[in-house]
């Protein structure tokens, strides 16, 4: 893993977006970075399940929960699958559940918080690898995200650190 801190990235780069969405770390890893893949979901996380089954080497999944109904976008099974398929981490502007298990999975996972209700199990609902917005930050697939306990930033390309 690349050695960095988000404050140092902010000090050294003018062409980044700094996230103003305040997220909490729930995975066993609290610092990670990678090339972004996106999922846009309303009340079903079926596209998240599909994406984490792919090889995630060097990648971070960013989930935009667009639904008005509270539900959990990630649980222990999705986190475990992402770990097994080498994803660096998952970030969501939504909620997760099963944190007592997730905290022991060797993956990064940031979310707004926890909520115990699962999503609808509607297959094919949602969009993969489309532009999304997390808080004030516009994110495109292929951008890079850097996150640690200080905050997070997005760059349009991999940063030289």
Residue 68: its pLDDT value, please?
Answer: 87
The pTM for the full model equals: 0.96
Separation between Cα atoms, residue 117 and residue 114, nearest integer Å: 9
Domain assignment present for residue 150? The answer is yes
Domain assignment present for residue 85? The answer is yes
Range of the domain at 108: 23-155
For residue range 79-137, list pLDDT tens digits in order: 999 999 999 999 999 999 999 999 999 999 999 999 999 988 776 689 999 999 999 99
Domain assignment present for residue 15? The answer is no
Domain assignment present for residue 13? The answer is no
Domain assignment present for residue 1? The answer is no
Structure-block tokens of residue 102: 């997730």
Domain assignment present for residue 97? The answer is yes
The enclosing domain of 99 has a CATH number of: 3.50.30.40
- The DSSP-derived string for 95-119 is EE--HHHHTTSSSEEEESEE--PPP
- The count of domains in the chain is 1
- The H or E element that residue 78 is part of is helix 76-84
Structure-block tokens of residue 142: 């292929």
Separation between Cα atoms, residue 118 and residue 135, nearest integer Å: 23
For residue range 71-94, list pLDDT tens digits in order: 999 999 999 999 999 999 999 999
């Amino acid at each position: 893993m690349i050695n960095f801190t988000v404050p140092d990235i902010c000090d050294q780069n003018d062409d980044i977006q700094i996230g103003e969405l305040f997220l909490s770390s729930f995975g066993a890893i609290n610092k990670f970075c990678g090339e972004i893949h996106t999922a846009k979901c309303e009340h079903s996380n079926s596209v998240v399940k599909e994406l984490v089954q792919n090889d995630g080497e060097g990648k971070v999944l960013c989930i935009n929960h667009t639904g008005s109904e509270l539900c959990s976008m990630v649980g222990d099974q999705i986190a475990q699958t992402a770990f097994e398929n080498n994803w660096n981490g998952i970030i969501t502007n939504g909620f997760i559940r099963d944190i007592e298990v997730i905290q022991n999975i060797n993956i990064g996972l940031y979310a707004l918080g926890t909520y115990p209700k699962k999503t609808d199990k509607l297959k094919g609902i949602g969009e993969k690898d489309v532009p999304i917005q997390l808080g004030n930050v516009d994110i495109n697939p292929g951008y890079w995200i850097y996150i640690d306990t200080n905050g997070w930033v997005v760059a349009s390309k991999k940063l030289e650190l």
